[in-house]
A and B are shown apart, each in its own frame.
Chain A
Amino acid sequence: MTDWLSPEEWTAVRLSLKVGFVAMAASLIPGIAIALLLERGRFWGRQVLDVLVHLPLVLPPVVVGWFLLIGFGRRGPIGSFLAEQFGIVFSFRWTGAALACAIMGFPLLVRAIRLSIAAVDRKLEDAAGTLGAHPVWVFAVVTLPLIVPGIIAGMVLSFAKAMGEFGATITFVSNIPGETQTIPSAIYTYTQVPGGESGAMRLTLVSIAVSVAALWLSEWLARRMRGRIHA
């Protein structure tokens, strides 16, 4: 197995998985919060927030990457603040790749969770209230369990998006082997050098395998959850 992929290719695969998981995990809580806010909230600026969240879906990824570069770069207003205050650096680091992937996958995550929140019967939440449950508890023990299938779907979409993200990542954190060179960047690099076809093909196969596995896992989990609710 280790012979099949070169060490450089393994590095790219491991990095991609790490970036994907971190991007997915970091955006989970904000994703649920924003989905709740958009679906249930009634506040000024809700439309603006909605548009902002969805922008990465319609903007060219390069544009998102460039925004990240000027915002979160070493000299960017947010980037310099985070670097000075907390020592968190994004530019040309794998953390930056994770940030780019999280932002690109965020609209997909929020949409999936938001749909499942919309599908929750609010009458069940009223019933929980009459049984003495504070709204926070109602969310924790009624709403949250009912939207778990949507959360899983959103997580898988977010992860899959991270595995495939190219434009924003390469614009923001470049293509540094071992630090920011994810599978798509590595494939791109292989296509730019003579004799790189076999490496590109191997990484493409890995990419397909990971995506199919993620889809299958989410289907299986969602079916299990549905079974628990409706059987």
Chain B
Amino acid sequence: MLDVDIQHRQGAFELQARFQSDGKLTALFGPSGSGKTTVVNAIGGLVRPDHGRIAVQGRMLVDTKKNVFVPKHRRRIGYVFQEGRLFPHLNVRQNLLFGRWFTPRRERKTGFESVVELLSIGHLLERRPATLSGGEKQRVAIGRALLADPQLLLMDEPLASLDDARKAEIFPYIERLRDEGGVPIVLVSHSVPEIARLATTVVVLSEGRVAASGPASDILRHTILFRQTGLTEAGALIGAQVLRHEADFGLTVLQARAGTLTVPLLDHPMGSRMRVRLRARDIILSLHEPKGMSALNVLPGFISSIEEAEGPSMDVQLDCGGDALVARVTRKSVHELGLRPGLHVHAIIKSIAFDPDALGGAKPENM
């Protein structure tokens, strides 16, 4: 549904991006200067690429060979900017309804009330943008884009200007949008926890090129892709369900295909589904089932492959009952333990190693 193949030169920087995505939330990931914003600007019509094609939902928006360039006001692509960009002379209600004036009547599908409710901004409607907090501004900006009934929603680091508390305030709304709203999202981010929590598809950009693209759970397992930005943050992404809470110990037990995982107490209800990120650096490998150890999580599985990582490290890719995990170990350990594809091992994870930021609500189909 999103098909991008563009070349664009901006000063000394050259972008050459080619990827496709069918994901509900496609994350464009990469360090600053890797070309993420240029790609979304090209999709949104704010930048005219030198060469190439862009198609959204089968509609050709840019095709330099056929001299096609649909202007931004006819693309029907929503854009949530890093700084919100609310109109200062209009109140929140007028901002929200801005795009609606320009949407043909029969194409107005999104209900004003439902968007206001989804983003919890009902109490802000008569306020001016200058009086809103950063998090409130971004929620209004998201609502404003949605109410123009876009075919695709672009979000350029919508959380970058917010502190952690404000980020935590916005995350659930983007998750709800991904799971409930029909509109596919392209999210620009340079934060691994953010994409681990939100993305279904990840496109990794590096120096203007696409280094990798695919389902989030596949891409995040390859730590080498996250060299500059989030080496220590990369890891596997697996789906799990809340099995029970052990309130006395302050723990929650999750069920994944790989086995049970004990994590610090969560406030998700029993039976709810979520995605869990297991960082490669937090996993230890053992040839034998460990006994008398304090780590609560031991997942048996097979080594599927061993990849070069950085310096003395290697990434051991595991298949634990159908869940793909990855462990960061030293080259020396690989050698001494005789690790090789096909070998049966046990992955050991400390419970407190779970990153609460990366625990996101997710329907199974959005994994």
Interface residues of A (CB under 8 A from B): 121, 123-124, 126-135, 137-138, 141-142, 145-146, 228-231
Q: Is the CB of A132 within 8 A of B89?
A: no
Q: Which of B72, B98, B103, B130 contacts A126 (CB 8 A)?
A: B72
User: Contact: B148 with A132, CB < 8 Å?
Assistant: yes
B59 adjacent to chain A (CB < 8 Å): no
Q: Tally the A-B contacts, defined by beta carbons under 8 Å.
A: 73
**Interface 9-residue window, one of B26-34, B74-82, B114-122, B322-330:** B74-82
Chain A residues near B130 (CB, 8 Å)? 229-231
Does B102 lie within 8 Å of A133, measured CB to CB?
A: yes
Residues of chain B at the chain A interface (Cβ within 8 Å): 44-46, 71-79, 81, 83, 85, 87-89, 98-99, 101-103, 128, 130-131, 144-145, 148
Question: How far apart sit A229 and B130, CA to CA, in the bound complex (Å)?
Answer: 8
Determine the distance from Cα of A130 to Cα of B145 in the docked complex, in whole angstroms: 8
Establish whether residues B81 and A127, one from each chain, have CB atoms under 8 Å apart when the complex forms: yes
With A132-B99, A132-B148, A133-B102: A124-B73 Cβ-Cβ less than 8 Å: no
A124-B85, A131-B102, A230-B128 given; 5 more Cβ-contact pairs under 8 Å: A123-B83, A124-B88, A130-B72, A134-B102, A231-B131
- CA A145 – CA B98 in complex, angstroms? 14
**A185→B90 CA distance, assembly (Å):** 46
Q: Which residues of A contact B103 (CB under 8 A)?
A: 132
State whether A145 and B81 are in contact (beta carbons under 8 Å apart), knowing that A129-B73, A130-B45, A130-B72 are contacts in the complex. no
Query: Would you call B81 and A123 a contact (CB within 8 A)?
Result: yes
Partner of B102, one of A124, A137, A146, A228: A137
Interface core residue of B71, B73, B103, B148 (most chain A CB under 10 Å): B73
A131 and B88 within 8 A (CB): no
A228–B89 CB distance below 8 A: yes
Q: Cβ of A129 and Cβ of B72 under 8 Å apart?
A: yes
Least distance between A42 CB and chain B CB atoms (Å): 16
A–B Cβ pairs within 8 angstroms, 24 of them = A121-B85, A123-B85, A126-B85, A127-B85, A127-B87, A128-B87, A128-B98, A130-B78, A130-B148, A131-B73, A131-B99, A131-B148, A132-B73, A133-B98, A133-B101, A133-B102, A134-B73, A134-B102, A137-B102, A146-B88, A228-B89, A229-B130, A231-B130, A231-B131
- In the complex, chain B residues whose CB is within 8 Å of the CB of A130: 44-46, 72-73, 75, 77-79, 145, 148
The answer to whether B128 touches A231, judged by C-beta atoms less than 8 angstroms apart, is yes
Q: Which residues of B contact A138 (CB under 8 A)?
A: 73
Nearest-Cβ distance from residue A120 to partner chain B, whole angstroms: 10
CB neighbours of B99 from chain A (8 A)? 131-133
Contacts of B101 in A (CB 8 A): 133
Contacts of B44 in A (CB 8 A): 130
For the complex formed, measure the closest distance between the CB of B367 and the CB atoms of chain A, giving whole angstroms.
30
List B contacts of A131 (CB < 8 A): 73, 78, 98-99, 102, 144-145, 148
Contacts of A124 in B (CB 8 A): 85, 87-88
**A133 CA / B46 CA spacing, docked (Å):** 14
The CA-CA distance from A173 to B74 in the complex, in Å, is 53
Q: Does A126 lie within 8 Å of B46, measured CB to CB?
A: yes
Q: Is the CB of A230 within 8 A of B88?
A: yes
CB of B45 within 8 A of CB of A129, answer yes
Complex: how many Å from CA A228 to CA B88?
A: 9
Which residues of chain B are near A230, meaning CB under 8 Å? 88, 128, 130
Q: Are A229 and B73 within 8 A (Cβ)? A: no
- Check if A127 sits within 8 Å of B79, measured CB to CB: yes
Chain B residue contacts of A145, Cβ below 8 A: 89
Are B87 and A132 closer than 8 Å at their CB atoms?
no
Chain B residue at minimum C-beta to C-beta distance from A228: B89
Closest A-chain residue to B88, C-beta based?
Answer: A229
